[in-house]
Amino acid sequence: MLWDLARAEGPEAAARAALDRIEAWADPALFIHRIPAVEVMAEAARLAAEGPMGRPLYGIPYVIKDNIDAAGLPTTAACPDFAQVAAEDAPAVARLRAAGAILLGKVNLDQFATGLVGVRSPYGTPRNAVDAACVPGGSSSGSASAVSAGIAAFSLGTDTAGSGRVPAMFQNIVGLKPSLGLVPTRGVVPACRSLDVVSIFALTVEQAATVLDALAGPDAADPYSRAAPAGWRAAGGGLPPALRVAVPEDADLLFDTAEDEALFRAALSRLEGLGAVLERVSIAPFLALARRLYDGAWVAERTSALRDMVENHPDSLHPTTRIILEGGLSRVTVDAFDDFHAVAQTRLLSRALFARFDLLAVPTAPGIPTLETLAAEPIAANSRCGTYTNFVNLLDLSALAVPSGFRADKRPAGITLIGPAFAEARLCAVGAALHHAAGLPLGATGQPTPPPPPAAGAEVGEIPLFCIGAHMSGLPLNGQVTALGGRFLRRDRTQAGYRLYALGNRPGLIRDGEGGAFIEGEVWAIPAAGIGPLLAQVPPPLGFGTVALESGPCLGFLAEPSGLVGAPEITSHGGWRAYLAAR
């Protein structure tokens, strides 16, 4: 992989390999603008002369979707008459340059990021790297093709209704859709500005998370930018031991073939194999809301961003794009408020769902259409691709698409994990394990999926906290921990000499030097700024103190002995989970 090559041999080797791969791939519809090879190699030589300097993406080649500005290069959004040379980098591109990545050029897309199939471009249709008879997926078509083909180690796309996830499934790669505002969208040609995010394509979840860490952060000049909660990170957490995953009821599931359905169910079985507890839920309200995306206020928002093109230069637009954008001119404000109220109502349901579950798992798409199928029904096939993606941006959720297998005809399928805003670390921990468990090749490269990296320990600014009761993964108060940026590190247990008592809906732990036993629990990394707010939610006789674990001393939940008078002792169970299971 280019990523490994950059690490092992340096920027010049990785850049040369990427350039050679571009020539060998020979797809004239992939790039809209290529940076000349001599300039790419000059940038690689500059980086090599400087050395890594702690840059996380040192020497790694990448491409960007051509609706994102890069200084000195034209931005076309796949519309030649719209082309304008960018005076400066979009913040996302500037941050990648600062992180040491090497830009190869700008790649094709559905015109003005309007579509999920990848064929709506006057520059042609990028070849699907996995199956040339299939659509590449859109609107980030070139971004996905370049990564799957091994031309770029990662790429930037955008995602308004699934454009960062659908192409990932169609080309057997990872697609990370970050939380709204986490990555600035200044310098990106708007589709729906209030919903747009810059998305990431990569061969592995770990790589996508590394890129997101380099990209994330507020931008004072971007009105839709927002800061992540204290302690947020893209990855680094362990796989929670009691993962609660919501899965759509059968009535809410739609598949192109029985094989697509079987591959989704196999992915769910792998989730269970990772320790997840699955529960069927209705997502009908989410699917109903999704249908408003292309039939309401957000069509008008797309048109608003491109009103001059629609009204004054309609012949410059791709025919399908023109039909969609002209439709926005007839929308009326009174209908828009119906849409806004529908979003607000459905967000209540979303918050209730994620209060009960860590994640929602859905198919990335019902199936993958062929170019022939799409030609026969261009609008219907495109809409079908967004069945499970359109609601995510409307509900302010984060999402990660990972490959889930291949049908007998060698065409790919995928599963998407969805979480609340700023749940990227949880998504990446589960997604990496799930991707590895599938045992698939990476993109179209044929290389095997590597195992997920081990969970990192607590880092600077974090405090490990030993949880022994309802704050553990999958239990009712775990949300207090995750809402403060807490991330699961590991299972652990006390040294011998502790006693556990039942205090209604939570336990009390005390140390008894003359008796007691080992007590099971979990260690979570909590941002230092969150310790006080968490303690404020803990009622007496509980509090925090130093607990002697087998791995060493750790801050943890302890009880005042005087508050345990009359409480039943449950030490013999060895932990709160075992006690709950035995009741």
Residues identified as active-site: 65, 139, 163
- 215: tokens are 């990209």
Q: Are the C-beta atoms of 166 and 382 separated by less than 8 Å?
A: no
Packing angle of the helix pair 333-356, 297-305 (nearest 10 deg)? 110
Taking the C-alpha atoms of residue 391 and residue 397, their distance in angstroms, rounded to an integer, is: 9
For the chain, what's the residue count?
A: 583
The answer to whether 354 touches 246, Cβ cutoff 8 Å, is: no
DSSP three-state, residue 233: coil
DSSP, residue by residue, 98-141: HTT-EEEEEE--SGGG--SSS---TT--PPPSS-TTB---SSSH
Closest by Cα among 196, 201, 185 to 136 = 201
According to DSSP, the β-strands at 31-34 and 102-107 are: antiparallel
- DSSP category for residue 441: B
- What is the C-alpha to C-alpha distance for residues 11 and 41, in angstroms, rounded to an integer? 9
Tell me which residue of 284, 280, 268, 211 sits closest to 402, measured CA to CA. Answer: 268
Q: Do 118 and 136 touch, CB atoms closer than 8 A?
A: yes
Q: Is there a contact between 156 and 95 (Cβ–Cβ < 8 Å)?
A: no
Count the neighbouring beta carbons within 10 Å of the beta carbon of residue 409.
12
SS3 content of the chain, % helix, strand, coil (to 5): 35, 20, 40
What is the rounded distance in angstroms from the CA atom of residue 106 to the CA atom of residue 86? 12
Angstrom CA distances, 170 to 135, 162, 212, 409, stand at 8, 12, 22, 13
145: nearest Cα among 131, 158, 159: 131
Number of H helices, E strands in the chain: 20, 20
Query: Phi/psi of residue 125, each to 5°?
Result: -110, 115
CA-closest candidate to residue 412, choices 396, 379, 435: 435
